[in-house]
Amino acid sequence: MNKYIVLNIILFLFLNIHKIRAQQEINFSQYMLNSQLFNPAFFGLEENLTISSLNSLQWLGFEGNPTTNSILLDAKLKNNLGIGMELISDKIGPTSSNFIAINAAYHLKLNKNSQKLSLGIKVSGNDHNISLNSMSFDDTTDPNARTKDSYFIPNIGFGLHYYSDKFYLAFSIPYFFEPKAINKKRHYYVSGGFKKELNKKLIINPNFLFKKAANTPTSIDVSTMIFYENLFWFGINYGASENGFITPSDSGSNLSFISGFKLIPSLSIGYSVTSQIGNWTGSANSRSHEIYIKFSSSKKLSQSSDETSIGMEVEISQQKKSDN
């Protein structure tokens, strides 16, 4: 078979997979760790300056396999303000997208029962590239053998976050505009969860995430996390489309196992592995792996101390510990 026919077939597959990925937002099984990635209203909830990284690897052993790397900088300011920055790199085969976003959030206290409402805004840019230069060609004189398309796509987004120290409910549109150059669809996110103390040391934290775009099935993730004194945690996440949520299928439903621990008080590490339902006994190369790292600085940019995140960092208050 002609090498260029094979190359065109491979390129066709890569581009169509990337087209599907472009239509869908980046998805992490550990979404409860860095909710800021899809909702800017989550910025500024923690007292200390934090830097976190969430990285995903798929199809290990295959050249050009999908990889996604993210870095978040999150800080709480005075006057109930939060700010943050996102850096995201998403690659598959000859295509890549590099995101940068600046976020701001305002946290409004609603009543004396610690219920609050956060409003967030995101301003972002996406450097999207399709490059064949990284692929091998025998005939470098062929004009089709060296091509590159590049787009810079600005965007805006916003989010709402209603929460207390026991529950949260949130809505967001992280990217409002729909750039035709990469066939990007607007996505709507609804997330929520609650926490409940099982005993003096254990906390259970169920979460959910709904994601919807035009002309696509709703994506549903449901997870349950267990925390032991905020030093160790483990959980499970089930993800599927609305069509396969009740009746899981091998191709449309995923199961993730999540675990993590605090190495030192300022450093947390987490890991998850994901595979399609019914494929756990298959090749390990078909699984997805995520690594989570979070560093919390001792530096505080705000003197306020009443904002609490109910997502990842579920803490048992010092008051309750003293009561024991």
User: What DSSP designation does 164 have?
Assistant: -
Torsion of CA 141, 142, 145, 146, to 10 degrees: 60
Contacts of 111 (CB under 8 A, 6+ apart): none
Which residues, listed in sequence order, are joined to residue 126 by a DSSP beta bridge?
Answer: 99, 153
Which residue bears the tokens 């581009």?
A: 15
* Distance of alpha carbon 182 from alpha carbon 190, whole angstroms: 24
Contacts of 223 (CB under 8 A, 6+ apart): 29, 31, 32, 206, 207, 208, 235, 236, 237, 238, 256, 258
Contact (CB, 8 A) for 307 and 109: no
Pick the CATH number of 3-323 from 2.40.160.40, 3.40.1210.10, 3.40.190.10, 3.50.30.40: 2.40.160.40
Mean pLDDT of all residues in 24-35: 86
* Distance of alpha carbon 170 from alpha carbon 75, whole angstroms: 20
Q: Kindly report the average pLDDT of the chain as a whole number.
A: 82
* Distance of alpha carbon 10 from alpha carbon 3, whole angstroms: 11
User: Residue 158's closest CA among 216, 106, 208, 88?
Assistant: 106
Is 251 a residue whose pLDDT tops 90? no
Is 53 a residue whose pLDDT tops 80? yes
Map out the domains of the chain as residue ranges: 3-323
Q: What is the pLDDT of residues 105-124, one digit of tens each?
A: 999 999 877 899 999 999 99
pLDDT attached to residue 12: 47
With vertex at residue 135, the alpha carbon angle to CA 134 and CA 141, rounded to the nearest 5 degrees, is 100
Mean pLDDT of all residues in 124-153: 67
Distances (CA, A) of 166 to 11, 44, 194, 285: 49, 18, 6, 39
Q: What's the whole-model pTM score?
A: 0.82
Per-residue buried b or exposed e for 140-159, using 16+ beta carbons within 10 Å of the residue's own CB: eeeeebeeeeeeebebebbb
Most confident listed range (21-35, 88-102, 248-262, 293-307): 88-102
Confidence of residue 163 (pLDDT cuts 50, 70, 90): very high
Task: Please return the burial class of 270, using the count of CB atoms within 10 Å of its CB with bins 0-12, 13-18 and 19+.
Answer: buried
